[in-house]
Structure 1
Amino acid sequence: MPSQETPYQDWQAEALWQALTPLLPGISIEVLARVDSTNTALLERVKNEARGGSPQPYGRRSHDMQPCLLVAEQQSHGRGRMGRAWLSSHGGSSLTFSLGLPMQVADWSGLSLAVGCAIADALEPVDQIPGPQAPRLMLKWPNDIWLDGRKLGGILIETVPAGSQRMVIIGVGLNIHELGGGAAPEPSPAAFSTGFAALQEFRPGIQAPEVLALIAPALARALNSFQNEGFAPWQAPYARRDLTLGRQVSAGSLHGISRGISATGELLVESPEQGLQPVSGGEVSLRFSGGSSGSGN
Structure 2
Amino acid sequence: MIRVYHEGQNERQGALPRSSALSAVCILESVDSSNTYLANAIANCAYNDARQKVAHMADEPDWHRVSGHCGEVGEWESNPTMALVIPESQTAGRGRLERTWYDHRGQSFLASWALAVPTNLLLGSRRGWLPMAVGMAVRDGLIDVLNSCGATPISDGDVSSPLTLKWPNDIFCDGKKLGGILCEAVPVDEQWSVLVAGLGLNLFIPESDLPIAQSTSLQLDYDGLPDFLYLRRRLVEVISDGIGREFSALFQDAGRACGDLRDRMVRCSWTLGRRVRVEPIGGIPVEGEAVGIGSDASIEIVDDGGHHLRVSSGDVGVLPTPGAR
- In the superposition, the TM-score normalised over structure 1's length comes to 0.77
Partners of 1:110 and 1:199 lie apart in 2 by 30
**How far off its partner does 1:102 sit?**
1.2
Kept in 2, the 8 Å contact 1:269–1:276? The answer is: yes
CA drift of 1:181 comes to 9.5
**Greater displacement, 229-238 / 154-163:** 229-238
The answer to whether the aligner puts 1:76 opposite 2:91 as a matched pair is yes
- State the alpha-carbon separation in 2 of the partners of residues 265 and 131 from structure 1: 31
**Is the contact between residue 150 and residue 195 of structure 1 (CA under 8 Å) also seen in structure 2?**
yes
Match of 2:40, SS state, is helix
Task: Map 1:231-246 to 2 at 5 A.
Answer: 231-246=258-273
Q: Distance between the aligned counterparts of 1:42 and 1:260, measured in 2?
A: 34
1:247 to 259, 274, 284: 274
Moved over 6 A (4+): 128-134
Deviation at 1:134, TM superposition (A): 7.7
Tell me the equivalent position of 2:217.
197
Letter of the structure 2 residue corresponding to residue 117 of structure 1: M
Partner of 1:113: 132
Residue matched to 2:42:
46
2:15 maps to what in 1?
12
Amino acid at match of 1:71: I
CA gap of 1:269–1:160, structure 2 versus 1, over 3 A, is: same
Q: What's the counterpart of residue 295 of structure 1?
A: none
CA shift, 1:152, in A, is: 0.7
Structure 2 unaligned residues grouped into runs of 5+: 54-58, 65-72, 74-80, 148-152, 280-284
Change (3 A) 1:200 1:72: farther
Say yes or no: does 1:103 pair with 2:106: no
Distance between the aligned counterparts of 1:227 and 1:179, measured in 2? 40
The alpha-carbon distance between structure 1 residues 151 and 250, as it changes in their structure 2 partners (threshold 3 A), is: same
Alpha-carbon distance between aligned partners in 1 of 2:158 and 2:237, rounded to the nearest angstrom? 29
Q: Using the aligned pairs only, state the percent identity.
A: 26
Q: Is the 8 A contact 1:110 1:266 kept in 2?
A: no
Query: Following TM superposition, by how much is the alpha carbon of 1:133 offset from its aligned partner in structure 2, in angstroms?
Result: 10
Q: How far apart, CA to CA, are the structure 1 residues paired with 2:138 and 2:223?
A: 14
C-alpha RMSD of matched pairs (Å): 3.4
Choose 159-168 or 221-230, whichever is displaced more.
Answer: 221-230
Query: Aligned equivalents of 2:98 and 2:259: distance in 1?
Result: 28
CA–CA distance in structure 2, aligned partners of residues 227 and 38 of structure 1: 26
What's the CA shift string for 1:199-235, capped at 9, x where partnerless? Answer: 5733622322222222221122112223332522111
Q: 1:210 aligns with which of 228, 234, 241?
A: 234
Is 1:286 matched with 2:316? yes
1:269 aligns to 2:287 (yes or no):
no
Report deviation, 1:196: 1.8
Structure with more helix by fraction: 2
CA offset digits 1:67-111 (Å, max 9, x no partner):
3111112122111111111132332x1111111021011421222
Identify the match of residue 108 of structure 2 among 94, 103, 106.
94
Residue 32 and residue 134 in structure 1: after superposition, are their counterparts in 2 closer, same or farther (change >3 A)?
closer
With normalisation by structure 2, the TM-score equals: 0.71
